Structure 1
Amino acid sequence: MLAKLFNSSELKKVAAGNFGIFHEIGDEFPELSEVIEMADFYDLAYSLLVKNYRNEYVVKNEIANKILLGRHSMNTTSMMSELRTGHNIADCLVVNGYSTCYEIKTEFDSLVRFQDQLSSYRKAYDKTYVVTHNSHIEHVLSIHDVSPIFGVIELTKRNQLKTVITAPISDEFDYDITFDTLRKPEYMFIAEQVLGDIPEMPNTKLYEYCKEAYQTLSEQNANAIFKNSLKKFRCNDHTFINALPKSLKNIGISYQLSRNEKNSLLCLLMNNASIELGDSDVLPILERKAS
C-alpha cells in the first residue's frame, strides 16, 4: 500500500484533488495517521518504504538523488526510465558523455532473464550496471566471474549505492538495437544531421530512409549521435525535479505528467496542502496551512 502512494495513477489523482489514498494509508499505518501536510506525508511514507519494502521505485529514486543529482549536472546529463532496448526494457539510463544503463534487481525480483537483458544493454549503452540487493550479490558475482562485462552496485541496508565492481566500457555496438530504441522525432533528427533536409515520404519509407542514414556512420559517430538524440528529446524537466522533495524525485523522471499535473502537485507540496479532510475523499477547495 505504501508503494501505491508513489505510483503514477495515484499521483495523477492527487494532482486532480483526490486525496483518498492518504486516508487509506493513514488507516493502515499509525505513524502516518496524524500527519496532515502532504509533503510530510510523502517523506515519512517514503522512509517507511525504504525501511520495509525497497521496491523498484525506491531504487530509481535513489539513483535520481545520488547519481543524477548527486554526481552530475542536470545541464549536461539526462536520466531516462523504461527504454525499449532489443527485446528488453532498460530500467534506467543516465546519459552525459557516456550512456550508463542501470538494471534494477530488487530482493523481490528474479535473475532468470538477467543474462539476456545484459546482452541487449551491452550492445546499446557504454556501461551497464546491475543494481541489486544483498540477497542477490553472490549470484550476480558468479555471473560476473563467467562474463565480466558489467558492473555491480549494491543498495546497502543504509540505503547507499555501493559500487562493488566498476562497469567496463562496452566494446559492442548494434545499429539495429540502438536505432529501434529511438522514437520517430529522434531518428528523424539523426537523419537530418547526416543528410540534411528529409524529403516527404510515407512513414514506412521514412523509417528505412533514416535507418540507412544512421548506418552510414561509423560505430563511434553513431553512438555519439544516438546519445545526443536521447539527451535532446528526453531531457529532464529541471525546474520540476529540483522543486520536488527527495522522496519524489523519480516521479519527475519516470512518469508522464502534464504541465497542469506538475503545477498542481508543486502547488500542493510547496504550500503545505492539508490532507485532513474528515470523511471526504476529494479536496473540493484547496486547504493550506496558513503561512
Structure 2
Amino acid sequence: MTTATLINKMFTVNSLKRIISNPNNRTYSKTVNTVIGNQDSVDTNLDALKKVYKYMSKNHRNEYFYKNTLVNKILLGKHSVRTSTAIRELPILNNILDLLIINGTGQVYEIKTGLDNLMRLNDQLSAYYMVFSYCNVVTDMTHLQAIKEMLQGTPTGIILLTDRGTLHVEKKSEEYNDRLDNKTIFNVLRKYEFENIISSEYGFLPDTTQSKYYDACFEIFEKMDVKKSQKYMLKELKNRSYINKNNYGQFNRVPAEIKSLVYFSDYSEIEYRNLNSFLNNKYDGKA
C-alpha cells in the first residue's frame, strides 16, 4: 500500500474513531511509521498526527487537506461555528458537492486538487447553481490557469490553495440565481426539513396517503417563489450542525489537523474525553 493510500485511509471520520478506540490500529501505526520512519522521533499521538499532516501538506494535498483547510480558514477563521454551518458531500442531482458553508448565504466550494481532472466541472457547477447562488472552485497552481479560462465571464469564484497552505481569492464569487429550481432544492431537504418549511409558510401539511405524501408536499412547496424556498432551505441546512453551546468548548480544543474530522462527527462528551486522552498518550504503534 502506497504512502498516499495510507494517508487517504487514515484521515476519515470513521478511521479516526477506530484509531481512538484502538491506538494500535494497523492503518494508523503503518501510516505513521511509513511517513516518519524513525519511531523514536514521535512522542505523543498528537505529535504523530501533526507530523503525518505536515507530510501531507507538502507531498500529498488530497481532498481532505483542502476541506480541512477550508474549515479552518473560512468556517473557523473568517466565521464561527456559533453562527455558521459547514456541510460536506451534499448530493445534488448526480453530483456530490464537496463543501458548503452557510453564513447568511450559502457558499459552495468545489475542490479540484492537483490529483483531479476538470472534465465534470461545468456539469457540477451547473447542478449546484440549481440550489445555491454562490459557487467557488478551490484549486492549486496545477489547474489554476485552465480554471481561469473555463470560468472567465462567469459568476463562479476561484480560490487558490497556495504552497504555504493559505487561501487566496483569485476571483470573487457573484450572486447568480438564473438556474435556481424548486424541485432540486426540495430534493436536497430531508423529510422533516421540507415539512418544517411547508408548515411555516402555509400552516398545514397535506392530508393524504403515505404513497402520495411526498408528491403532495412538493406540489405545495413548488408554489413558493424560488428565492424564498432557497432562504427556507438554507435555514434548515444551517441547523444540521453538530457543534452547539454544549460542546463548543471541547471542539475549540481539537487540533487544527483533525478539526474537520471532528466537526463532521457527532461526538458525545465521552468521545471528546477519549479523543483528548488519545492525543495526550504516548505513541507506541507497531506497524
Query: How high is the TM-score relative to the length of structure 1?
Result: 0.87
2:201 & 2:216 partners in 1: Cα distance?
11
Shift of 1:231: 0.8
SS of 1:79's equivalent? strand
CA RMSD of aligned residues (A): 2.1
Question: What is the aligned partner in structure 1 of residue 198 from structure 2?
Answer: 191
Question: What is the aligned partner in structure 2 of residue 58 from structure 1?
Answer: 65
| Counterpart check, 1:16 vs 2:26 | no
SS of 2:76's equivalent? helix
CA contact (8 A) 1:237 1:252 kept: no
2:273 & 2:34 partners in 1: Cα distance?
29
2:158 & 2:253 partners in 1: Cα distance?
31
Gaps of 5+ in 1: 282-291
2:210 & 2:269 partners in 1: Cα distance?
29
Question: What is the aligned partner in structure 2 of residue 286 from structure 1?
Answer: none
Deviation string 1:233-261 (CA, Å, 9 cap, x unpaired) is: x1232525323100011112344666654
Q: What does 1:152-167 correspond to in 2, within 5 Å?
A: 152-167=158-173
CA 1:128/1:275 → structure 2, altered by over 3 Å: closer, same or farther? same
2:119 & 2:268 partners in 1: Cα distance?
36
SS of 1:63's equivalent? helix
Q: What does 1:1-291 correspond to in 2, within 5 Å?
A: 1-20=6-25, 21-30=27-36, 33-34=39-40, 35-145=42-152, 147-172=153-178, 173-198=180-205, 201-232=208-239, 234-238=240-244, 239=248, 240-255=250-265, 261-269=271-279, 272-276=280-284
1:139 & 1:112 partners in 2: Cα distance?
11
Shift of 1:74: 1.7
1:202 & 1:208 partners in 2: Cα distance?
10
Superposed structure 1 runs of 4+ greater than 6 Å apart: none
Deviation string 1:147-202 (CA, Å, 9 cap, x unpaired) is: 51201001011111110000110122111111111111211211221233436654
CA contact (8 A) 1:79 1:236 kept: no
Shift of 1:9: 3.2
Query: How high is the TM-score relative to the length of structure 2?
Result: 0.88
Q: Sequence identity of aligned pairs in percent?
A: 29
